[in-house]
């Protein structure tokens, strides 16, 4: 079996072994040491320099997205959302649910986010920008510098869901003045699903710690998490196993040569796939894309049928697309423990599936 899915991804062998280990009890100094040690390394990867600026939550990535809406913005402020697919739309849903005023820049399929879109929102009293820096539904990677400059000009907080992009594309919180970063264990970190990570700029930490108007629920109260992390703890029982996996993964990234080398390996796989796929006649959208994934577009074969065939016949899992694009597109992940040989094999099997479907052979 091989996973070319976006998360959970094909995990590394050393990660898979962790679940068989013994774990210490978590309300101990021994556990706090593990947390503190990984915190420092993780903060470096995220590019955030403040002390105790990273927290862990036992939730999927969406929990941290919800937490960001509950803790970082108030009802007397106004959000702008880049809505370029299902994950952008999720921010809209969360803001709507919590009664926070917002507008959204709604991108059509295949439409690139440009400065022109942003110019319409200059000097309109928006206080926060919410963006999924890679919109995982389409793979579009937005221009972080353009968004960062827009936020600086308009004195806005910049909230970035980097779940899709983290460890696949360059990312640095301090450099771009990003106020909040949201990450999830099952994507670029290649760990089990279930742990979300949130990193804060100094000014966002101040805002959250002193926010009197916040609407947050008890479980997602970031203030509690920020206070607890000062002693390497979480308010509630953490995902202990994933914390062990994280420690192991951070060591592996170090051993492989660090963040830049790690990202360049993802990029190599990505470039290799795209070049071969295009030569082979597959269509890939033109907009700027994350290294994390490649969307592949089909005009005359049903993409969902190819996905099913790859799974049932060859035990290869690619990522189908939801909604209107389900029959047109599937997505190939470049994160996780896959190799160039795996990609060659994948392309070979896609070719077989296409041929069979064109000849009318269903599974």
Chain residues binding ligand PLP by CB under 6 A are 7, 60-62, 87, 132, 136, 161, 163-164, 184, 187
- The label of the residue with tokens 């997602």 reads 220
- Closer CB to ligand PLP, 38 or 184, in the complex: 184
Count CB neighbours of 211 within 10 A: 17
Beta strands in 191-326 (DSSP E): 195-200, 293-297, 316-317, 319-320
Q: Is beta strand 128-132 parallel, antiparallel or unpaired with respect to 79-83?
A: parallel
Supply the minimum distance, in Å, between the C-beta of residue 235 and ligand PLP: 20
Alpha helices in 129-258 (DSSP H): 144-153, 202-210, 222-229, 240-256
Supply the minimum distance, in Å, between the C-beta of residue 153 and ligand PLP: 25
Say how far apart CA 145 and CA 276 lie, in whole Å: 30
Q: Which residue is nearest to ligand PLP (CB)?
A: 61
Supply the minimum distance, in Å, between the C-beta of residue 185 and ligand PLP: 8
- Closer CB to ligand PLP, 164 or 238, in the complex: 164
Supply the minimum distance, in Å, between the C-beta of residue 222 and ligand PLP: 17
Three-state SS at 206: helix
- Closer CB to ligand PLP, 164 or 336, in the complex: 164
Q: Is beta strand 134-135 parallel, antiparallel or unpaired with respect to 140-141?
A: antiparallel
- Closer CB to ligand PLP, 83 or 233, in the complex: 83
- Closer CB to ligand PLP, 140 or 233, in the complex: 140
Supply the minimum distance, in Å, between the C-beta of residue 297 and ligand PLP: 19
Supply the minimum distance, in Å, between the C-beta of residue 199 and ligand PLP: 15
- Closer CB to ligand PLP, 187 or 349, in the complex: 187
Helices (H) and strands (E) in the chain, counts: 12, 14
Sign, Cα dihedral of 229, 230, 235, 238: positive
């Amino acid at each position: 079996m091989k996973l070319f899915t976006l998360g959970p991804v094909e995990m590394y062998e050393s990660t898979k072994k962790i679940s068989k280990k013994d774990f210490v009890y978590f309300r101990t100094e021994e556990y706090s040491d593990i947390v503190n040690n990984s915190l420092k390394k993780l903060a470096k990867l995220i590019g955030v320099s403040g002390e105790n600026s990273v927290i862990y939550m036992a939730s999927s990535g969406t929990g941290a997205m919800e937490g960001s809406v509950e803790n970082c913005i108030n009802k007397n402020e106004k959000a702008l959302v880049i809505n370029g697919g299902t994950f952008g739309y999720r921010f809209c849903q969360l803001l709507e649910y919590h009664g926070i005023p917002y507008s959204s820049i709604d991108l059509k399929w295949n439409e690139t986010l440009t400065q022109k879109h942003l110019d319409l929102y200059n000097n309109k009293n928006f206080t926060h920008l919410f963006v999924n820096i890679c919109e995982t539904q389409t793979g579009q990677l937005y221009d972080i510098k353009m968004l960062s400059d827009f936020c600086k000009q308009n004195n806005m907080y910049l909230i970035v869901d980097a779940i899709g992009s983290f460890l696949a594309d360059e990312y640095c919180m301090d450099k771009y003045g990003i106020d909040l970063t949201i990450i999830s264990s099952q994507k670029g970190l290649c760990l089990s699903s279930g742990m979300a990570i949130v990193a804060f700029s100094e000014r966002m930490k101040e805002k959250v710690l002193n926010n009197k108007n916040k609407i947050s629920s008890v479980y997602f109260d970031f203030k509690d998490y920020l206070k607890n992390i000062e002693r390497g703890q979480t308010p509630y029982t953490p995902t202990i196993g994933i914390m062990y996996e994280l420690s192991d993964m951070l060591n592996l990234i170090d051993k492989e040569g660090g963040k830049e080398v790690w990202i360049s390996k993802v990029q190599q796989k990505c470039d290799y796939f795209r070049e071969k796929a295009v030569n082979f006649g597959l269509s890939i959208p033109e907009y700027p894309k994350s290294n994390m994934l490649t969307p592949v577009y089909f005009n005359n074969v049903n993409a969902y049928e190819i996905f099913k065939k790859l799974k049932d016949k060859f035990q290869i899992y690619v990522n189908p697309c939801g909604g209107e694009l389900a029959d047109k597109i599937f997505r190939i992940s470049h994160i996780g423990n896959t190799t160039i040989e795996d990609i060659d094999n994948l392309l070979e099997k896609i070719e077989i599936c296409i041929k069979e479907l064109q000849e009318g052979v269903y599974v």
